[in-house]
Amino acid sequence: MTKELISFEDFQKVDIRIGTIIEVNDFIKTRIPAYQVKIDFGRLGIKKSSAQITSLYTKSQLLNKQVLAVINFEPKQIANFMSECLILGIQNGKEVVLLQTYKNAKNGTKVS
């Protein structure tokens, strides 16, 4: 199912950046298993995210991996945790497959 058309200007409002995961912890206060993740976006700083990706990725697999994330959503309270960005992935049934770059890029680089 496709969504309504948006303008290029609408797309430009979404700030998608690349960052490196620097910390991963179990998020035990959620109904669906998740991790609490810290991501380094270079000069833009470190942001936190809650990610329901425990079925496909171990903490050690995620550490030091680059991911794509939307960094300009309003922070969202999830249990006792404030999520500051949204890691991007593809919904594959009940699992989420992370979007990644083919080659590493500088943390904070904008996706265009």
Domains of the chain as residue ranges with CATH: 14-98 (2.40.50.140)
pLDDT value at 13 more than 90? yes
- Average pLDDT for residues 56-66, to the nearest whole number? 97
pLDDT value at 112 more than 90? no
| Residue 8 DSSP symbol | H
- pTM recorded for the entire structure: 0.92
Closest CA to 48 of 66, 64, 69, 31: 69
Three-class SS state of 21: strand
- 21 versus 2: the higher-pLDDT residue is 21
Contact 71, 111 (CB under 8 A): no
Q: How far apart are CA 92 and CA 97, in angstroms?
A: 7
Contact 87, 56 (CB under 8 A): no
Contact 83, 76 (CB under 8 A): yes
pLDDT value at 1 more than 90? no
